[in-house]
């Protein structure tokens, strides 16, 4: 099933980006000016894939607010507003609501309620089925409520354990057409060995960061610097656009994190 996206939402990184949450402090703090340049390139890649991009202003009080994907999950039938797990990010979903209301009617917007937590980085759509990471950021109650909203729209969902990385999609992404990239712990995940995945590429450990990429219309956007992942995508027949993500990697961010797409 080919992608058919027309819109994307991004948010400019704020100056407090250097204070973003990270599990990789050894990579150092981001260079803010370089992060701005990389964000510009990311927006250009989205536009090059044929979508209209809404660029929201920076939220200076929220270091991680550039990672808009964690504020909600957009499906073909509506949007579920998330509850991020960390206190410093909790308000980001609320602050996205005015923008969502510009594009979605009230009956298309669902909202999780406490004690649920769920972040969009843990959600991977495969046709009409959703894989949801059970991670440090998404709990069982978040999954239960989210799956209930999906069921109202005719979709199904299942949980996938996430033990060693931040989000489900940190460990791999579905680029449609039956093609799946997996890395690390997900190479052995039973859920990823089913018939809907015709081709599963096990990403080499040294290129694990490249496993998170996004298919938009006739392009796949991925992080620059991961030649074996890029070669596999091109072998599958995709037109690949690369974006330098060095500064976002330092604070656990990746390609899918930086936008909401529909």
Q: Which two tokens stand for residue 46?
A: 């989205």
Of 14, 72, 213, 257, the catalytic one is 257
118 close to 83: Cβ distance less than 8 angstroms: yes
7 close to 49: Cβ distance less than 8 angstroms: no
130: Cα within 13 Å, side-chain hemisphere: 25
72 is catalytic: no
167 is catalytic: yes
Measured distance CA(3)–CA(7) in Å, rounded: 12
Cis before residue 136, ω within 30 degrees of 0? no
Of 14, 72, 167, 213, the catalytic one is 167
**Cα distance from N-terminal residue to C-terminal residue, the chain:** 14
Phi/psi of residue 146, nearest 5 degrees = -65, -45
38 close to 242: Cβ distance less than 8 angstroms: no
* Residues marked as catalytic: 167, 257
């Amino acid at each position: 099933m080919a992608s058919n996206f027309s819109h994307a939402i991004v948010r400019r990184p704020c100056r407090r980006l250097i204070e973003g949450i990270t599990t990789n402090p050894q990579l150092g703090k981001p260079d803010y000016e370089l992060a701005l340049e990389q964000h510009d390139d990311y927006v250009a890649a989205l536009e090059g894939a044929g979508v209209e991009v809404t660029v929201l202003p920076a939220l200076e009080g929220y270091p991680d607010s550039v990672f808009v994907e964690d504020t909600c999950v957009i499906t073909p039938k509506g949007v579920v507003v998330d509850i991020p797990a960390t206190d410093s990010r909790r308000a980001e979903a609320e602050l996205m609501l005015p923008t969502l209301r510009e594009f979605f009617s009230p009956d298309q917007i669902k909202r999780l309620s406490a004690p649920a937590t769920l972040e969009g980085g843990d959600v991977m759509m495969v046709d009409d089925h959703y894989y949801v990471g059970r991670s440090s950021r998404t709990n069982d109650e978040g999954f239960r409520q989210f799956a209930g909203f999906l069921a109202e729209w005719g979709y199904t969902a299942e949980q996938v354990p996430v033990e060693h990385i931040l989000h489900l999609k940190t460990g791999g992404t579905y680029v449609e057409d039956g093609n799946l990239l997996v890395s690390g712990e997900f190479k052995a995940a039973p859920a990823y060995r089913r018939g809907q995945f015709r081709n599963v590429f096990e990403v080499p450990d040294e290129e694990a960061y490249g496993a998170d990429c996004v298919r938009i219309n006739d392009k796949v956007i991925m992080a620059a610097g991961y030649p074996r992942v890029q070669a596999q995508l091109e072998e599958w027949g995709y037109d690949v656009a690369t974006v330098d993500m060095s500064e976002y990697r330092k604070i656990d961010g990746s390609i899918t994190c930086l936008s909401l797409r529909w």
